[in-house]
Amino acid sequence: KAGVTQTPRYLIKTRGQQVTLSCSPISGHRSVSWYQQTPGQGLQFLFEYFSETQRNKGNFPGRFSGRQFSNSRSEMNVSTLELGDSALYLCASTLAGGPQETQYFGPGTRLLVL
């Protein structure tokens, strides 16, 4: 089975622009979570989608949004980019979104905001 894939792998944007990141979960997985990883703040939960519904959201401003499609693929969008949004964005998928399940992570999208 193919793993979690994320596109693009690398992205350079300038302040004020917006960006859309994509995540394709493992086939059959219905839950997708997004995390931001930075040297200063570490790994922080952004949000989780299950069956096209956002079930959980972390403490991020409204500039961060996401969605999930009927095929479980997910996108996250960041509008009005700030320098502090430079980070590795990781998505993870699970079969049914249960807390006991192993989360399978993609390789991440590295975003640099100039």
Footprint on this chain of another protein (rule: CB under 8 A): 4, 31, 33, 35, 42-45, 48, 50, 55-56, 58, 90, 92, 94, 97-108
Name, in order, each residue with C-beta under 8 angstroms of 98's C-beta and a sequence gap of 6 or more. Answer: none
Nearer Cβ to another protein (50/85): 50
* Complex with another protein: residue 30 or 79, whichever CB lies closer: 30
Cβ–Cβ < 8 Å for 3, 104:
yes
Which residue, 35 or 64, is less far from another protein as judged by CB? 35
The DSSP bridge pattern shows strands 64-68 and 74-78 to be antiparallel
